[in-house]
Structure 1
């Protein structure tokens, strides 16, 4: 049984999404994929299509690039939600010049009140170099802070490296 909130962290192309998908599939229940990425170019469209093909048709996909509350509110007690990913959600808000504290408060309220367990995928950005421009540094700092807050609330935190999970907090079901 998964806790109400699970965080799956990893670097780019670490296997974190595939690992989280497997975790959700093993849990049972109706699967909801909460997609935050937006396809602004052909490369991103192809990546999103690969993810859809890997998941198959057993998932209900809800697209919510910034407003996660209404989508999380659709989940019922027999469901399980995969939010993929917090990094794209944060990027969308930064690029839209949103009020980040307000957006994060709404996110955490939606996570706290969601009737289903939620597995959140997020990029670990603290292992890379300090970026050379202000926007990238702002993103790195905001992502690190968001990950820390998510990890603090999560009952299970898993770091995926080269497709291999390392449990940082909690116990795998």
Structure 2
């Protein structure tokens, strides 16, 4: 794939299982890439456990990093990204789960919703990767386990798998993090 004029210096995708160390590794990459860094947060507080998880992530980040909270929509972070040479999105899987959890059960597996999520991911990648910045996108890998037992779980895996493939195809570098150990699998 040819790099477009004004394209990202680098698109890096960091994938792995839950609690694999992928966010910590991505934060290290962002710190090494330069400053200032914009942290694009997709997590939302649903309960006390999620609140604590978000607080652990906040405590780890340098205080001088910018913060853009998506509130469920990736495009919400776009205006702030213009001022930053390094953008860290954490994470695509949390963004998708947040979006799917807001869909009424009667609309689960709706192809129009699936397509809209793919389009939103693609548009965010296009915008984030313009302007010569380094973009690091964190995501969870869903393809290593069994098929989910619920309709919503299967839909999540299908949509996230498609978004992950889109991001990895566009990426210059892809890392898989297993048990805290990053493995470069592309680039």
- Between the aligned partners of 2:158 and 2:120, the Cα distance in structure 1 is 19
TM-score between the two structures when normalised by the length of structure 2: 0.84
Contact kept, 8 Å, 1:93 with 1:100, in 2: the verdict is: no
CA drift at 1:17: 0.0
Query: Runs of 5+ in structure 2 lacking a partner?
Result: 1-7, 104-111
TM value normalised by structure 1 = 0.90
SS in 1 for 2:185: strand
Pairing partner for 1:100 from 114, 118, 125: 114
Q: 1:136 is matched with which residue: 132, 149, 153?
A: 153
Aligned partners of 1:117, 1:135: CA distance in 2, in Å? 33
SS of residue paired to 1:32: strand
How do residues 122-133 of structure 1 correspond to structure 2 at under 5 angstroms?
122-133=139-150
Equivalent residue, structure 2, for 1:111: 125
Number of residue pairs matched by the alignment: 169
Q: Which runs of 4+ in 1 moved over 4 A?
A: none
Q: Cα offset for 1:78?
A: 4.7
Residue 85 in structure 1 maps to residue 91 in structure 2: yes
CA distances 1:16-42 after superposition (whole Å, capped 9, x unpaired): 000000000001121111000101111
After superposing the two structures, state which structure 1 stretch, 69-78 or 152-161, moved more: 69-78
Q: CA RMSD in A?
A: 1.7
Does 2:62 align with 1:56?
A: yes
C-alpha deviation, 1:141, in angstroms = 1.5
Bigger Rg, structure 1 or 2: 2
Q: Structure 1, residues 71-111: CA drift from partner, whole Å, max 9, x if none? A: 13322365211100000111112122282312321332232
Structure 1: 5+ residue runs without aligned partners?
A: none
